[in-house]
Amino acid sequence: MDLFALSVSAVGGYLIGSISAGRIITYLFSREREVPEETSLSIEGSDKKIVTKLVSATTVSTNVGPKFGFLTYVLDVLKVFIPAFLLRHYYPDSQLYLIFATTGVAGHIWPLYHKFRGGRGISAIYGGIFVIDWLGVFVGAIRGLIFGLFILRDLYLTYTTGLLFLIPWLWYRTHDWYVILYIIIVNILLNISALPESRQWYKIKKEAKWNDPAQAFQISAMGRGIIKMARKLGFFKEQDSLSDPKTKQKSQDES
């Protein structure tokens, strides 16, 4: 592989990945125009909060609004997807697109332009996966949803296990060791970036007792979307009825 092309891909990925869609969206559509130093994420059914310094689609959703959080997510996906797609198209026999995608995730998490304070990295990771195997995006999301939400009832694992499941999936689809190295590295980067929030999450989860396990998923836009979809499919109806104040009062009166 040409050393110059490799270097340009690596540096270009990091610099483009460092572009913060969350900050741009906040500047354009928020009255404050600046991302707060910290964002408190409330958990429905608990007085506990998770405090994060990340700048992500979740924090934009909390501070500016859900539709702007979704727009942030899309832009963060595209900033990795478009250049990586072009690199794979024009240099199909090289791994330049994987190098770009990997450093793009690193730039998203630790952006050069913003004192290395960025997002968690999921959107940038999926930008790369769309290029490698677009079907894997849905396979990872669905498997993570089933394992994290319906089996373990754990929001954090819903995020992370989907990407872990992509390791065997991408091997099955590509049999490319460079692709496997990419997905392993980005899994490591994701867990490093999410470590402060995950520590808070598991501390709260250990202390809090929710009548409805689904309440914990209200912490993020993604979690709320997951729960909304799950309820449409018929899950959590029993818990919803038990957590509803009128139902609780009726149950107490009957007893």
What is the mean predicted confidence (pLDDT) over 153-175?
86
CB 172 within 8 A of CB 135: no
Q: Which of 232, 51, 100, 215 is nearest to 149 (CA)?
A: 215
Tell me how far CA of residue 253 lies from CA of 25, 38, 211, 233, 242, in angstroms: 50, 44, 19, 31, 14
C-alpha span between 90 and 92 (Å, rounded) = 6
Which of the 8 DSSP states describes residue 56?
A: S
Structure-derived torsion over alpha carbons of residues 17, 174, 189, 203, reported in degrees to the nearest 10: 130
C-alpha span between 52 and 59 (Å, rounded) = 8
Which amino acid is present at 239?
A: Q
Output 99 or 207, whichever has higher pLDDT: 99
pLDDT reported for residue 145: 75
What is the per-residue pLDDT across 165-191, written as a single tens digit (0 to 9) for each? 999 999 999 999 999 999 999 999 999
Q: For tokens 């202390």, name the residue.
A: 207
What is the mean predicted confidence (pLDDT) over 102-130?
95
The neighbour count for residue 51, using CB atoms within 10 Å, is: 11
Confidence of residue 154 (pLDDT cuts 50, 70, 90): confident
C-alpha span between 171 and 148 (Å, rounded) = 22
Output 52 or 158, whichever has higher pLDDT: 52
Which amino acid is present at 64?
A: V
Q: 0.75 cut: is pTM over it?
A: yes
Output 233 or 72, whichever has higher pLDDT: 72
What percentage of the chain carries pLDDT values higher than 90? Answer: 50
pLDDT at residue 230 is higher than 90? no
pLDDT reported for residue 41: 76
